[in-house]
Amino acid sequence: YKFWSGLKAVDYTPGIRCAFGARSLLGFLIPKRLGALFYNPGPNFLWEMKRSGGFEGDTDAISVVPWLHGDPAILISSLEMMQQVLGYSDEFDKFKNDSGAALFGLNVATLQREPWKKHRRVLNPAFSKKLYSLVWKESMRMFRDMVETEAWDKAGSATIPVVGDLTAKFTLNIVASCAFDFRSTWSDSISTAGTGMSLSKCLKVVIEDAPVRALAPKWAYFLPLKVLKRVDTAFTTLFAFLRAQVALRREKIASEEMTGDDKAGKNTIFSNIVRANIEGGKFAFDEDEVISNTFVMLFAGHETTARTLNGILALFGLYQDEQEKVYEEIKRVLSNGRDPEFEDSESFTYLRKCIQETMRLYPPVSVLLREAVRDVHLSVTKRATGEKSHDVVVKEGTHVLVNVVGIHYNPRHFPDPDSFKPSRWVDESLSSDAVFAGFGHGPRACIGRKFSLVEATCFLVMLLRDWRVDVDLAPGETPQEWQQRMMTDRITPARGLGPIPIRLSRRESR
Ligand code: HEM
C-alpha cells in the first residue's frame, strides 16, 4: 500500500524505486545496497546521480518512491521549476515535520511561512550596512592574525594540508564575532568550557552526526558506544554553551537599559534575538526559539562560506589563468598595493564571478526542501528545450526537492557544465537569485548572502594580493582529472569537499 500511495502522491512521475526514501533518516545511516531489492539512495545520491548520469528522463523532474521506509518525493532540476516551487506563490512551503526542527528547534530557517514571518522580521534589521562593514573589519583583523600566527610571512611559503579546516576556522570566528560578539584570536579557538570540546568541534559533530542523534533512543546512551558518547557530549556542550551566552546577553541588555548605555548594540543579530525574548509582544521569541535561532545563525553563517572558500582555493590552484586574472584585478583596484577597504568590496567583479562559478560547481547547500501545501499542479519542463512538457498533480504534503546540483549541472542552463568558467557570468546576472540556486530563491532565499560575499571577498583579496595558490597535480594529470579525483568524486553533503591540500608562495612584488 505504501508504495502505491507513494506513486499516486507523485502522479506516477517516472524515476527511482527503492527501499528507503531519499531524505529518510534511516536511509542516511544504512548501506546503499543490501541485496538487489534493497536499494537505498543514501545521503549522497544527488552527487552520485550527477556523476553516473543517474536516472535520465526527457524532463527535469523525476520521482523517488520508497516501498519500505521514508517519504515519496519529486526531484526537480530546472530553474523554471525552481522558480515555481521557491517563488512567492503559496503552493509550497518548508516541511511541516522537519527532522532538523525536531533536533534543533523551530527557527527562521525551518519554520513554515506564517510563523516564519515573525522570525524574519526580528532578524532582517540586523542585516544592514553596519553589519557588512563590521564583517569586513573583522575579516581584515582575523586574516592578519592568521598570517602572523601561522608564521607564513617568515617562511615565504606554506603548505596547508586540509584547507577546509583553515577556512572553517576563519568563517566561524567571523560569524561568532560579528553576529554574537564572541571575540577570539586565531590562536585560541572559542572555548565552550567544561568538556574540552571546542565550539567548532561541537558544531562539526552536531551537524555530521545529526541522523545518529535523531534515531538513537534515550536508553542507547547507556551503551558503551564511542559514537553515541561523542554525539551526546557535542549536543549537550553546544546547547549548554548557547544557553549560557543567551543568559549573559540578557544580563548585559538589562544592565545597559538601566544605565542608558548601549554596548550590546541595537540591531545586531544576537541582540535582536535576545531582545525579542525580553521585550515580548507580537514578535516575541520564546526560550526555545532564542536558542534555535542562535544555533542556526552560528551554523548557517560559517559552514557554507567555508565550503565556498575551500572550493575556490582549490580551483584557483588548478586554473592558474583564472587566478592570474583575479590577481590583475586586485592590483588594478588596489593601486600601490594598498590594503582593501569595505568601500572596495563591490569593485572586484571578476573575483565575484569566480565565487559564483565555484558555488555553481560545488553548491554548499545541495538540496532545498519543500512540500505541497495542497494538491498542486506542477508544470514540468522538457530537459532539451525548457518548454512545458506537462503538468503533474503533486498531492498535498508530498515532498518536492529542489536539486541544486542537478540545476547547476543542467547543460541547458550552463553549457559545458563540468568546466570552471567564471566568464559565463555576465555582470547583470550576478545579483539575481533567479539565475542559479546557490543562495536559494524567493522569500526564503538566504538572509546571509551579502554577509558571506563580503567576508569571502575580503579573505580572497587579502590572500591573492600577497600569495600564489598551487595544488599538486600527479605526473601527467590534467587540472580536470585532479578536480574529478580530489573534489567531485569525494564530495558528501555532510562533510562537503574532502580534504584538499594547497600550497601558498609569497608573490615577489610584495
Ligand atoms: C556561501 C555562503 C552561503 C550559502 C551558499 C547559503 C545558502 C543558503 C540557501 C540555499 C538558503 C535557502 C534555503 C531554502 O530555501 O530552503 C539559505 C537560507 C538561509 N541562510 Fe544562507 N547561505 C550562506 C551564508 C549564510 C550566512 C553567512 C548566514 C548568516 C549569517 C546565513 C543564514 C541563512 C538563514 C538564516 C537562512 C534561512 C532564511 C529564511 O528561511 O528566511 N547563510 N542559505
Average pLDDT over residues 118-135: 95
Chain-centroid distance of CA 343 in Å reads: 26
Residue 398 near residue 73, CB atoms below 8 Å:
yes
Q: Which of 304, 360, 497 to mutate for ligand 1's pocket (most ligand atoms within 8 Å of CB)?
A: 304
Between the CA atoms of 86, 88, 90 and 94, what dihedral angle is there, to the nearest 10 degrees? 40
Which of 134-138, 341-345, 425-429, 445-449 comes out lowest in average pLDDT?
Answer: 425-429
Mean pLDDT calculated for residue range 227-231: 85
C-alpha 305 – ligand 1 centre gap (Å) = 10
pLDDT at 510 over 60: no
Nearest CA to ligand 1 atom 24: 448
Ligand 1 centre distance from Cα of residue 449 (Å)? 7
How many Å apart are CA 378 and CA 60, to the nearest integer?
Answer: 12
User: How far is Cα 336 from Cα 316, in angstroms, rounded to an integer?
Assistant: 24
Quote the cell numbers at residue 308. 565556498
> The complex's ipTM?
0.99
User: Do 71 and 371 form a contact (C-beta atoms < 8 A)?
Assistant: no
Q: Give me 207's grid cell.
A: 551537524
Ligand 1 atom nearest to CA at 171: 27
Question: Judging by DSSP bridges, how do beta strands 73-76 and 399-403 pair with one another?
Answer: parallel
Distance between Cα 297 and ligand 1 center (Å) = 9
Higher-scoring residue by pLDDT: 321, 189: 321
What lines the ligand 1 site, CB under 6 Å?
108-109, 120, 175, 179, 296-297, 300-301, 304-305, 308, 359, 364-365, 368, 438-440, 444-448, 451-452
Report how far ligand 1's centroid is from the alpha carbon of 428 (Å).
22
Q: In angstroms, what is the span from residue 447 Cα to ligand 1's centroid?
A: 6
Q: Which of 354, 404, 446, 457 to mutate to test the pocket of ligand 1 (most atoms within 8 A of CB)?
A: 446
Edge to edge, the sheet with strand 157-160 lists 157-160, 502-506, 467-470
- Cβ contact 427:358 at 8 Å: no
CA of 452 to the centre of ligand 1 (A): 9
Q: Whose CA is nearest to atom 43 of ligand 1?
A: 446
Domain residue spans in the chain? Answer: 2-105+366-408
pLDDT band for position 34 (cuts 50, 70, 90): low
- The pLDDT score that the predictor gives to residue 261 is 64
